[in-house]
Amino acid sequence: MTSGLHVACIMDGNGRWAEHRGLPRTAGHTEGEENLARIVRVAVRRDIGWLTVFGFSTENWVRPRGEVRHILGLHERLFGRVRELNELNVRIQWIGRPFDSAEARTPKYVQRAIRKAIHDTATNTGMVLTVAFDYGGRAELMSAVRAARASGEPVTPETIGTHLYLPELPPVDVLVRTSGERRVSNFLLWQSAGAKIHFSEAPWPDFDERELDAALALVR
């Protein structure tokens, strides 16, 4: 069973990173996906037990269609990095609106990539990388309350916890937000209730080993 710190990252600033360089916003998202791969490697070296990243929120669907298509393709590629994840002994999982729910919007081809990645890394025993896609903290809490009521259970903190999207996800120890923003943006509201928060001025593509160590210093 994986133990160790749970670090959660709101990967903000990809578009601004690109705009500051005179590049299209999609270039920033591409670089952000590459930086996630770099941060995963660093997190493994730091013996982090759980790394959860905010890939795409329930609110992000209103972005320009071309940008959304690009981000979807990047997530398909992210979930396709199975060989590297296996070499790192990383198990991948996903958190978001269930594919069979009426509100879910994850395209079929991304669903297939998610399921395959979960299956192909299921026996790994190292760090757990959880990607939040089509995820919103309020939607998760509403779903948990509805499920508790439907089962006839009283709505308590304990029953809500058992009906979250991923009940096994441990409490967040440190929450990271990049690009100078000072807000948590509907991310892991329940799981981050007691977390330390590290606000970084760096946009996500520039978030590096030094920045991660600064976040870890809050809890180590």
Catalytic residue among 14, 35, 60, 134: 60
What beta strand segments (E) does 60-199 contain? 91-95, 128-135, 174-177, 196-199
Report the candidate in 208, 189, 192 with the shortest Cα–Cα distance to residue 200. 208
What letter represents residue 177's amino acid? R
Owner of token pair 């071309």? 66
Report the candidate in 41, 44, 38, 42 with the shortest Cα–Cα distance to residue 4. 44
Q: What are the b/e assignments for 201-219, b being 16+ CB within 10 Å?
A: ebbbbbbeeebbeebbeee
Catalytic residue among 12, 35, 124, 173: 12
12 counts as catalytic: yes
- Active-site residues, by number, are 12, 60
